[in-house]
Amino acid sequence: MAESGASPLPAAPPARSPLFRAEQFVWLTARVLEQRLFAHHFLNGGADAVETALDAYRNEDGGYGHALEPDLRGPVSQPLHTCHALRVLDAIGRCAGQLVERVCRYLTSVSTADGALPAVHPGQHGYPAAPFIPIVDDPPSDLLATGPVVGVLHGNEVWHAWLFRATDFCWQTVESLEKSRPYEVEAAVAFLDSVPDRPRAEAAADRLGRLVREQRLAALDPENLEDHPVAPGYVPGEHHFPHDFARTPRSLARAWFTDAEMERSLDFLADEQQADGGWPIRWRRWAPGPALEARPIVTIEALRTLRAYGRFVG
């Protein structure tokens, strides 16, 4: 029995609710980081525990490694790992201070000649990585890595010299896109949702939304996916839906879709929860470990998206 005056324990989610089923899946399969993230988002868990778990992935150079992003294995710092770490810090309200200053120094050290980030630094050579992630000696700048990082830093009002040229790269890339692919569009949205110049962001998002619809990058009818194209290089079934682009109703990408299209998308997302309580990954599975580690990440994102749109999760 709790002592008088002690804080009450958080109520457990209703049995057999989506959240209850997901909780069992997380305790069964997730890394410590995702266990603590789940507790933070859904069980009143503290931010300190999440930050402590995340710190295990941080390297002396200020970047993050150790397969934080499951498709890149090995200890070395990588932009994609560091992007993942910043998103975690943003989610728990800790994207500030000396920690982020060290991250920005790392970003500066691995940037390309135009001041942006490569998707994968050549330090990955010699360590396992997903076969669909190219590892080259002189990698180009990539919106996939740069856009979300710049977006998170702007969203948290971080000011650092690295941001100036990286922001310029994102603007130039987003505003010049003529043909794209879903993951690149998602990175563009992450940038546009937080960059300070809101009128310019809204104009760029409006143009990008028309491109998404013209090129059929979003599957608008989940019940007839066999009639919807998959982007070149993606595996069968690797579709992207309105909720993938607009993860919250506040996203600029929400305006790209009608209410009916978004409702169908959210219905599909809710129905994707599997018998074990977790959500599936839709990209290529290349090894058991990365797939196992990715599913709790995807599960937490699915629950957060459903909750953001007011759907019952438990």
The predicted model scores a pTM of 0.93
CA distance 185 to 181: 6
Write down the pLDDT at residue 85.
Answer: 98
Write the burial class of residue 16 (CB in 10 Å: 0-12 exposed, 13-18 middle, 19+ buried). exposed
Helix axes 161-176, 182-192, angle to 10 degrees: 130
Write down the pLDDT at residue 11.
Answer: 59
Write down the pLDDT at residue 14.
Answer: 66
List, for the chain, all residue ranges whose pLDDT scores fall below the cut of 50. Answer: 1-7, 9
Would you give the DSSP letter of residue 226?
A: G
Write the pLDDT tens digit of every residue in 195-218.
999 999 999 999 999 999 999 999
Write down the pLDDT at residue 5.
Answer: 45
Write the pLDDT tens digit of every residue in 230-245.
988 899 999 999 999 9
Instruction: Give Cβ neighbours of residue 243 (< 8 Å, ≥ 6 apart).
Output: 262, 265, 266, 269, 305, 309
Residues 266 and 258 sit within 8 Å (Cβ to Cβ):
no
User: Would you state the structure tokens that stand for residue 77, as one six-digit string?
Assistant: 């710092």
Whole-angstrom CA distances from 184 to 3, 23, 55, 148, 173 are 52, 31, 28, 10, 10
- CB-side neighbour CA atoms (13 Å) of 254: 13
Q: How crowded is residue 176: how many other Cβ atoms within 10 Å of its Cβ? A: 7
Would you give the DSSP letter of residue 21?
A: H
CA distance 180 to 177: 7
Write down the pLDDT at residue 10.
Answer: 54
Write down the pLDDT at residue 3.
Answer: 44
DSSP track, 165-208: HHHHHHHHHHHH-SS--HHHHHHHHHHHTT-S-HHHHHHHHHHH
